[in-house]
Structure 1
Amino acid sequence: VEEPAVPRSDPSAKSNAIPNEIENYIVELECQIRTLRSELDALRPLSKLALVDSMTGLSNRRYFDMRIEAEQKRVKADPDYVVSVLILDLDNLKVINDSFGHGAGDRALRGAAEAVKRVLRPDDVCCRIGGDELAVIASSCGRHARARLA
């Protein structure tokens, strides 16, 4: 018996096989997903840089604004939800900078940031919102907890 020059495919195998065009599409999608994951991994450090004050390690003004907006939405959705915001102005930081140099002022600012972080609850956040201004956002913080935090 002579074999045909072009092999015939089994019709039953065709019905179960993924057409080449779909298989190629799946391979392309997998490649795009890997590329996007790689790009996302590369952007994560940039996201941190965009939301963290490099001197103090605290969240920055941009993060503060985003968090306040989220807290306002939460308060509107749940009238029983309580959030407290404490604004801290570090007195005499300019005097320290002018008298002892900016290095001393930077150390004073970092020391103040560390002191505030030590008393925060896990869900609280401290942000540097200006040169010598810090803000604490304390979610679910009633009157007694707010007084203790202050």
Structure 2
Amino acid sequence: MKPIASLHALSRTPRAALIALTLLALVPATGLAAATSTASKVGSADRGGWSRVEGRLASTLDGNPIQVNPDKYVAYTLDGGALQSRLASAPGEWSTSALTLSLPSPDGGFESFSVTESAVMQPGLAAKHPEISTYAGRSVDDPSQTVRLDYS
């Protein structure tokens, strides 16, 4: 399975750092594994392409052993097409509106983020690589939580 999206999160708080590490380390390889399952902050209909994986995680990826052995986790797969469709409707970063995007959180639930497109490449480089899109977001419930995303 090839990674369908690369997600990078940056923040100044420990909880957001944990979200960042969870997204960065586990989305490309196995969907998403989070600590323990608790009540979701976002309804199941609003999960935007994320589907819970029942059972055990795969032990190999492209024939190589996966070296992640959590004691407890909740795993999700991501429909890359659904995510790409949602991100395509994100307004520019200086817009007064934003796309609301649900992302798995370290507690096994979901957190809603207001997301805007945030161009980080020089215009000439961006024109050569239209397949790379970058975004910035802030938690709807806790504005101190931020996320940076890229889709390539």
TM range, smaller chain: under 0.3
Q: Which has the bigger relative contact order, CA under 8 A and spacing at least 6? A: 2
| Structure with greater Cα Rg | 1
Higher strand share: 2
User: Normalization by structure 2: what TM-score?
Assistant: 0.26
User: Normalization by structure 1: what TM-score?
Assistant: 0.26
